[in-house]
Structure 1
Amino acid sequence: MIPRVEPNDPRRAALLYRRVAWRLVTFLFVCYVVNFIDRVNISFAKLQFLQSLQLSEAAYGLAAGMLFLGYTAFVIPGMKLVGVIGARRTMSLLMCAWGICTVLLAFATTKHEFYLMRFFIGASEAAFAPCVILYLTYWFPHRLRGQMMSLFEISPTIAGIIGGPLAGWILQNFGHGTSLEGWQWLFVLEGVPSVALGVMAWWWLAERPANARWLSVDEARFIAADVQASLGTIARQSASFMEVARDPRVYGFAYVYFAIFWCLNVFGTWTPTLLRSAGLTTPLEIGIYSSVISLVSAVGAYLMSLHSDRRLERFWHIVVGAALTIVAFVLLPMFPNSPFASASVLCLGSVGIFTALSLFWTTPTICFAEHAARHALAIMASLGSIGGFLSSTVTGWLKTQSGNLDSALGVAAIVLATGMIALRFVLPNTPREHAPLESVAAGPSPD
């Protein structure tokens, strides 16, 4: 018999939230790592398939960007699906769908087929990230969400640590003496795990604390009550889609995400190209360097997020992260033939952009909760993801025109700077969290 959990017993409550985090956040972390690997593996496959399919850099940029076009088109329908079948079932179906589409991408033979499958991958994964963000609000009060969302949002850096060397190894060792080339094996071998995780999610996740068989009735009631109490009067909970769509804060947040997404996609889609232009030659070398960049990004972004939690401050931490990225974009053209210097600058910029991304998502859920959050996150993610599409297509076009990425990096820096200006206008109207952001280890205090 598990002892009753009381709000004035922070040690026991901390153990409960730690157990929930290990069960749910760890699994979702792995799912998002695999998701990001499937999203950006095209950047490694590009090292081979451009020649095989006779595609230009501009065509590659458009193919990479088609994912975000599908993402933009299907975020809102995907989040509406959450209202019909719930977050657990939605996430399960989405993982299976994008995994199957990733496998099918291996069999594209023309650029138009490539465009179509990338669009379908984007459409399949569109609602996954906002669905996870909404799902975490069912399980953690405001004072714990900063850490949880920061951990979730830096999972793409872990994807880079794993995905870079893995992609390089597959490209170098598969495709010899088989009917499939190395880049085709890359899509097949990295698409199958998504399907497996999607099937597992169906029974591993619970929709709400009340549905979790691994919690006692008392624990489930405590979590539900704690989450509800932490909302106070600051979060808009019940609102129709049109009511939320008329809230100007939604569009301010959406543009900030647009700017962050633009620059995040530069790192996700073009890092291997930047490393090769700096002097690296083999896919395995590029993969190892990419892995180091991702490792530094994960550590740096997480430490920045912890510091933000301790100081109870968001705006300047996000701005500092953005500033690091802008500085990196300015410095990169200065080291055209130095792999070490280029990788160091990419580390700096990657820490910055992942810091900005992880801390950004801690702010909208303060203003919107429950049904209102589902609509708000859908609008923000839909409009913001346009930045991913434009980033890929504009960067690819500029590289084709100039032969390098210098001008594209300059454009990205300007977009991110304007995003930080927009953030300044949004956050003064964003209520400060009324309860301290405590660590899971410290345990929740009474609201």
Structure 2
Amino acid sequence: MPEVASYTPKRTALIYRRVAWRLVTFLFICYVVNFVDRVNISFAKLQFLQHLHLSEAAYGLAAGMLFLGYTTFVIPGMKLVGVIGTRRTMSVLMGAWGICTVLLAFATTQHEFYVMRFLIGASEAAFAPCVILYLTYWFPHRLRGQMMSLFEISPTVAGMIGGPLAGWILQRFGHGTTLEGWQWLFILEGVPSIALGVMAWWWLAERPTHARWLNADEARFIEADVQASVGTLARQRASFMEVARDPRVYGFAYVYFAIFWCLNIFGTWTPTLLRSAGLATPLEIGLYSSVISLASAVGAYLISLHSDRRLERFWHIVAGACLTVVTFVTLPMFAHSALASAAILCVGSVGIFTALSLFWTTPTICFADHAARHAIAIMASLGSIGGFFSATVTGWLTTQSGKLDSALGVAAIVLVTGMIALRLVLPNTPQEHAPHASAAGEPSLD
């Protein structure tokens, strides 16, 4: 087996750049489509509330049902990884949520809508945790900030594409046909997930040694480099119950809960906020949403790249959280200005996606390999409850007051407490577990 030091920094960067182009690009596209399917309800809402006779509170519950299904099926989904592997699990999940998204178009009652949203959440539950675990097989800790950010900011690209696309579908389709525009939205955005699920089966490789597009030395080098970056504190071999008894898991889970709560505000209520600020048509709202998404994609990636170069996580995550808190506090002050609201949402979106991207590099400081699979499943399962509570609480508070102001204040408080929890569970010197001499001076992958 080749030693990590036998590869020069330049050659190392070239190998990882090739891996990133092959795997991260594909997973990026998959998660873009996933997030489009998850949040297209926020655009379909502009038409179907009256059709299905839903109130704002009922809409909040419908949006939250996805996260209830997500929470329920994360751990079973990650158990499936142990049976058929990450590659096959991701393939099956993509096809399943695509089919459920298409079927959502044919929901005719409020309760059918709830059930289908639950099934979409159940289908996609283990996908993001699978990807997070999968990336730890292919990239050492010092590169995971960049890789996680590319994966986690894919929802912002989904916003750039999905916003205008949803607006166009809602305006273009449904006239003179038996289906409404919102139904066409679910159908046309569900089919790509099914196709990507089929493609994932043969495009992805389970581990570096299974990749036909790497030679044997490159594959062994990647596995050795990844193992060398694990660090002395990382727990690697442990049963599910052993990991479940580790209190750090629940601290990290609460941090994810807080981030997920705030992320859901942006994903579910941005079109509503923009319409309240004065935008009229779905297409106009979609275009503004795409600008917000573009800003958050660029900003979050640049901050994550800086985090990798400095080999520092905590303060970069806190900086992102601070941007989000400031956004929630200031938004009500500019509620009637579309331009100002969009600018403030850009700042907050950069912040929350930075926090999300870098957060998933922190649990792998403490957990690796088999232990990481169990830990990520528990964290994702418990943390995703934040999406359910965010949707339902925000919907209820908005119904009670007629505005989102109080809901934004609650979200800011939750995020602050999440950062306190992160300080308590994150090792004081994570840098010890990231760099190795072989990586010194290694070029960036950007």
TM-score normalised by the shorter chain: which range applies?
over 0.9
Residues 143 and 308 in structure 2, CA contact (< 8 A), matched pair in contact too: no
Give the structure 1 partner of residue 443 of structure 2: 442
Deviation at 1:315, TM superposition (A): 1.2
Give the structure 1 partner of residue 247 of structure 2: 248
Provide, for residues 3-28 of structure 1, a one-character-per-residue CA deviation record: whole Å limited to 9, x for no partner.
99963322222211111110000000
TM-score using structure 1 length: 0.96
- Provide the rounded CA distance (Å) in 2 between the counterparts of 1:204 and 1:22: 12
Segment of structure 1 superposing worse, 213-222 or 166-175: 213-222
Which blocks of at least 5 consecutive residues in structure 2 are unaligned? none
**CA spacing shift, 1:98–1:433, aligned 2, 3 Å:** farther
- Provide the rounded CA distance (Å) in 2 between the counterparts of 1:443 and 1:288: 32
**CA spacing shift, 1:430–1:387, aligned 2, 3 Å:** farther
Provide, for residues 322-353 of structure 1, a one-character-per-residue CA deviation record: whole Å limited to 9, x for no partner.
11111111111111211001111111111111
Residues 42 and 64 in structure 1, CA contact (< 8 A), matched pair in contact too: yes
Residues 252 and 426 in structure 1, CA contact (< 8 A), matched pair in contact too: yes
TM-score using structure 2 length: 0.96
- Provide the rounded CA distance (Å) in 2 between the counterparts of 1:92 and 1:106: 23
Residues 10 and 443 in structure 1, CA contact (< 8 A), matched pair in contact too: no
Residues 5 and 218 in structure 1, CA contact (< 8 A), matched pair in contact too: no
Provide, for residues 49-106 of structure 1, a one-character-per-residue CA deviation record: whole Å limited to 9, x for no partner.
0011111111100000000000000000000000000000000000000000000000
Q: Residues 298-337 of structure 1: matches in 2 within 5 Å?
A: 298-337=297-336
**CA spacing shift, 1:6–1:308, aligned 2, 3 Å:** closer
- Provide the rounded CA distance (Å) in 2 between the counterparts of 1:241 and 1:430: 27
SS at match of 1:337: coil
Aligned pair 1:105/2:107, yes or no? no
Aligned pair 1:56/2:55, yes or no? yes
Q: Which amino acid aligns with 2:340?
A: A
Residues 367 and 431 in structure 1, CA contact (< 8 A), matched pair in contact too: no
Residues 147 and 439 in structure 1, CA contact (< 8 A), matched pair in contact too: no
Residues 150 and 301 in structure 2, CA contact (< 8 A), matched pair in contact too: yes
- Provide the rounded CA distance (Å) in 1 between the counterparts of 2:157 and 2:275: 21
Give the structure 2 partner of residue 165 of structure 1: 164
Residues 170 and 282 in structure 2, CA contact (< 8 A), matched pair in contact too: yes
Give the structure 1 partner of residue 141 of structure 2: 142
Q: Which amino acid aligns with 1:331?
A: T
- Provide the rounded CA distance (Å) in 1 between the counterparts of 2:196 and 2:211: 19
- Provide the rounded CA distance (Å) in 1 between the counterparts of 2:343 and 2:443: 35
Q: Which amino acid aligns with 1:90?
A: T
Q: Which amino acid aligns with 1:134?
A: L
Q: Which amino acid aligns with 1:120?
A: L
- Provide the rounded CA distance (Å) in 2 between the counterparts of 1:327 and 1:15: 40
Q: Residues 74-153 of structure 1: matches in 2 within 5 Å?
A: 74-153=73-152
Give the structure 1 partner of residue 264 of structure 2: 265
Give the structure 1 partner of residue 9 of structure 2: 10
Give the structure 2 partner of residue 45 of structure 1: 44
SS at match of 1:206: coil
Segment of structure 1 superposing worse, 135-144 or 182-191: 135-144
Segment of structure 1 superposing worse, 300-309 or 123-132: 300-309
**CA spacing shift, 1:441–1:23, aligned 2, 3 Å:** farther
Provide, for residues 263-313 of structure 1, a one-character-per-residue CA deviation record: whole Å limited to 9, x for no partner.
000000000000001100100000000000000111111111112222222
Residues 367 and 430 in structure 1, CA contact (< 8 A), matched pair in contact too: no
**CA spacing shift, 1:12–1:275, aligned 2, 3 Å:** same
- Provide the rounded CA distance (Å) in 2 between the counterparts of 1:256 and 1:4: 37
SS at match of 1:303: helix
Give the structure 2 partner of residue 350 of structure 1: 349
Provide, for residues 249-268 of structure 1, a one-character-per-residue CA deviation record: whole Å limited to 9, x for no partner.
11110000000000000000
Q: Which amino acid aligns with 2:443?
A: A
Deviation at 1:440, TM superposition (A): 10
Give the structure 2 partner of residue 283 of structure 1: 282
Q: Which amino acid aligns with 2:302?
A: L
Deviation at 1:367, TM superposition (A): 1.1
Residues 13 and 443 in structure 1, CA contact (< 8 A), matched pair in contact too: no
Residues 262 and 387 in structure 1, CA contact (< 8 A), matched pair in contact too: yes
- Provide the rounded CA distance (Å) in 1 between the counterparts of 2:70 and 2:134: 19
Residues 44 and 182 in structure 2, CA contact (< 8 A), matched pair in contact too: yes
Aligned pair 1:392/2:391, yes or no? yes
Aligned pair 1:401/2:403, yes or no? no
Residues 142 and 308 in structure 2, CA contact (< 8 A), matched pair in contact too: no
Provide, for residues 152-184 of structure 1, a one-character-per-residue CA deviation record: whole Å limited to 9, x for no partner.
111111111111000000000011111110000
SS at match of 2:426: helix
SS at match of 1:237: coil
